[in-house]
Structure 1
């Protein structure tokens, strides 16, 4: 699929900052709030959360828009 591992210098975590932040958010807003009985239930909830995060969850640093709406707004302007 053409995916390559990011190889930054030792101690330089900037490559991972965005996804590490997302993992922290998903754990606090989803994972820690529910006890999962099987992996399929967790996978389903993660897929639903990612859909919610991208399309409906507003972020103040994106001018109160969801990521999808923010990108569309800047493409249109």
Structure 2
């Protein structure tokens, strides 16, 4: 086991396990990071790592709880999940 894999295991991080050449499981995260960089990072100079870290945590909360998506019929991801879980109950 190489050092990279050991570090992932230490922090309970799981690598993508898709077949070679299949990046479909990475697509949602690639999209999220692209949107986050556009809305949060580009054009802003953070004064410290802590300031950037705080901004990222706030953005993730905003993205999941407040930011509406047309694809989710104008709801945030959390609202959409709540609605779909209520329908299936």
TM-score with structure 2 length normalisation?
0.79
The alignment of Structure 1 onto Structure 2 pairs a total of residues equal to: 77
- Which consecutive residues of structure 2, in runs of 5 or more, have no partner in the other structure? 1-10
Report SS of the residue matched to 1:11: coil
1:14-68 deviation line (CA, Å, top 9, x unaligned): 1100000000000000010311111100000000000100000000000000000
Query: Structure 1: which 4+ aligned runs deviate by more than 4 Å?
Result: none
Map of 1:1-77 to 2, 5 A cutoff? 2-77=12-87
For residue 11 of structure 1, report the CA deviation from its aligned partner. Answer: 2.2
Higher relative CO (CA 8 A, sep ≥ 6), structure 1 or 2? Answer: 1
Q: Distance in 1 between matches of 2:61 and 2:33?
A: 15
- Which consecutive residues of structure 1, in runs of 5 or more, have no partner in the other structure? none
For residue 3 of structure 1, report the CA deviation from its aligned partner. Answer: 3.5
